[in-house]
Amino acid sequence: MYSLFHVLTRQHADEFVPLRCNEQTVKRLIGYFEDLVIEHKLSAFVLEGRCLDGDPSREIVRKANLTEAANKFYLFSCDQDCSKRTWKAEVTDNLVLLEEREFHKIETGPFILVMEPRFCGLLAACQIPSRANHHSKSYEMVWTSTRMWSSRRLNICWRALARNNRRSAGDSNPY
């Protein structure tokens, strides 16, 4: 079975060019997509795949807000036997939880898809095997979005990603 990242980069290589980034950048960008749904109260269809790790109190509140705002929310994650898992998502009318024992072998990075009549956004990431001298996780990521209105969050997201890529390339100019 292939991850969403691998399917996108293999079948749509002309449209998606992977960008290298760190774990913090991937989490921040996923958060921007979630914030769009929550803050704009988009009645969106949301597919998200991730390990249920992180600060339990913060993550539970964030997922509850996303579940309340979304029209339908499908959360793909590892099962309760995962050693990295720190919290449990509560299933509701809007939230469908799909747990997979082999999740970390299939999806090595998070993904999110948000669809609603005025906006569609997709982000998928794949963890790059770590080297001995790297302290943080590195990812390759692809993302795209279409929108019918100007979103400050996506503009911030795009600038942060571009800034991160320039730093990775050795450019000292922060803007």
**In the chain, domain spans:** 4-167
Beta-sheet strand order (sheet of 45-49): 19-22, 138-147, 119-128, 111-116, 45-49, 72-78, 95-100
Q: Average pLDDT of 113-119?
A: 88
pTM for the full model?
0.79
At 31-88, the pLDDT tens digits run: 999 998 999 888 899 999 998 888 999 999 999 999 999 999 999 988 888 888 888 8
Q: Identify which has the larger pLDDT, 105 or 122.
A: 122
Q: Identify which has the larger pLDDT, 171 or 117.
A: 117
Give the pLDDT of residue 174: 44
Q: Average pLDDT of 94-114?
A: 88
Report the SS3 class of residue 41: coil
Which residues on neighbouring strands pair with residue 50, listed in sequence order? Answer: none
